[in-house]
Structure 1
C-alpha cells in the first residue's frame, strides 16, 4: 500500500480545480493487474485556498496513521493549526 498527500489537477479530459488530496493505492504485485485506488480524500481545494489563504495553515501539522489489527486496516488523517488535532478515518482498505 502506498499512502500519499499529493496535488491533483488531472480530470481525465475534464477541467477540474486543483486540490490537495490524500490518496492510498494498493497492488498485489506481479501479474495481478493494475494498482487499485482504495482511498481518495480531498483535503483542500485550490479555489478555496485562493479565496481563503489562511486555510493553508491547516496543513502545518498534517499526519497520516495506518493501523493494522489482524487482517483489518484503517487509514486515518489529521490536520490543523494545532499540533494535537484528532485523527479521522478516511478509509478501510
Structure 2
C-alpha cells in the first residue's frame, strides 16, 4: 500500500504536529503559535498559560516527557525544566 500524502491535508487539532520550535520561557511574551504539545528535554517544573487563560505549573516533569497541552505561553517564573520545545 502506498504512503498517504499528508502535505495537503487540513491542519486539524487531531492531526500530528507539523512544526516545532525551541522555547525560551518568558513571562510577558506568548508563543508564536498555541502549542499542541510541549516536549521537555531536561527535568523540572513547567509553568504555562493555557489556551483557555489559566496559569498552571506542572511539577516534577521528567526529561523526555511530551505534555499534550494547548499552551499560549511558557512562563519563566516557576519554570525550571530545560530544553523545552513547543510543537503545533
- Alignment TM class, shorter chain as reference: under 0.3
Higher normalized contact order (CA 8 Å, seq sep 6+, divided by chain length)? 2
Q: Higher helix proportion, which one?
A: 1
Report the structure number with the largest CA radius of gyration.
1
Q: Higher strand proportion, which one?
A: 1
Using the size of structure 2 for normalisation, the TM-score is: 0.23
Using the size of structure 1 for normalisation, the TM-score is: 0.22
